Amino acid sequence: MNLGMAIADFTQPQGPAGIAHHVGRFARAAEEYGFTRIAVMDHLFQIGIVGTSEQEMLEVYTTLRYLAASTERVELLALVTSAGYREPGLPAKMVTTLDVLSESRAALGIGVGAGFDVAEARGLGLPFPPVAERFERTLNSPGTVRRPHPPMAFDAFTHVESISSRPLLNAGSRADTLYFSREAIEKANEPKELFVIDGATHIDMYDRPQFVPQAITELTDFYAKYL
C-alpha cells in the first residue's frame, strides 16, 4: 500500500520567515517515514475548511519545485491543478519542468479544482468562466486521461451503520455532494438526522456567518440529546 501526504496549511508561529524551514522539514520527514507522494493544493488563498483567507498560501508549482530540491524519492503533484486558472499549454509546461527538475518524480492531477471559488479568481484578477467552459478546459488540457476513470475499490458507505454515536449530517441545499449525505443517512442506524441548510453550498458552512450558527445549533441540540 502506498500513502501520500498533502500540505494544506503553511501558517507558522514564526510567520512567513519560518515557512521554508517547516515545509522542507515536513517533506523530508514524510519521505523518511515511507510516504510515497506529497501533494500541495492549487489555491490562491487559504480555504475555509483549513483557516481564513488571510493566512499564508504558497503558489503550488513554485512550492513543488522547492520540495523537489528538498527530497529525493517522493512523487510530487498538485491536488489538483486548476485548469481554469491557466491556458491549457501552461500546465503541461509547468509539470514537465517539474518532472525534469525532480528527475521524473512529477505527477499531473488536473481538473476544475479551485475553480469553484470565484473570490479566489477575482482576488488576483484571473478569469472565471462558466462551469461548462471550465470543464471544457479540463478536458482539453494536455495529459488529461480521456478514458473512463477506474471504479472505486470500496463502497464508502459499507459500514456506515457502525458509526457511534449515531450521525447527524449537516448539508447545504445547494451542495453538489448533498446526494452523498442522503445516501449515508438512509443507511445509518437510529438516532440519525440529516439537517439541510437552505441556500448553502458544500463549502459555505465552513466560514459563512449566515450558515455556521445554524449548523452549530443543530449539532449542539442533537448531541446533547444522543451523545
Q: What percent of the chain has pLDDT over 70?
A: 87
Residue 117 pLDDT? 74
Residue 175 has pLDDT above 80, yes or no: yes
User: Which pLDDT band, with edges at 50, 70 and 90, does 18 fall under?
Assistant: very high
Task: Quick: pLDDT tens for 202-216.
Answer: 888 888 889 989 988
Residue 149 pLDDT? 47
Q: How far apart are CA 73 and CA 71, in angstroms?
A: 6
Q: Where in the chain is the domain with CATH 3.20.20.30?
A: 4-140
Buried b (16+ CB within 10 A) or exposed e, 113-128: bbbbbeebbeeeebee
Residue 7 pLDDT? 93
| CATH code at 4-140 | 3.20.20.30
Q: How far apart are CA 211 and CA 162, in angstroms?
A: 29
Q: In this structure, which amino acid lies at residue 176?
A: D
The average confidence (pLDDT) of the chain is 84
Paired strand residues for 194: 169
Q: How far apart are CA 82 and CA 109, in angstroms?
A: 9
Task: Quick: pLDDT tens for 94-113.
Answer: 999 999 999 999 998 887 66
Residue 116 has pLDDT above 70, yes or no: no
Instruction: List Cα–Cα distances, 212 to 8, 9, 22, 134, in angstroms.
Output: 22, 22, 32, 29
Residue 152 pLDDT? 46
Q: What percent of the chain has pLDDT over 90?
A: 37
Q: How far apart are CA 210 and CA 186, in angstroms?
A: 28
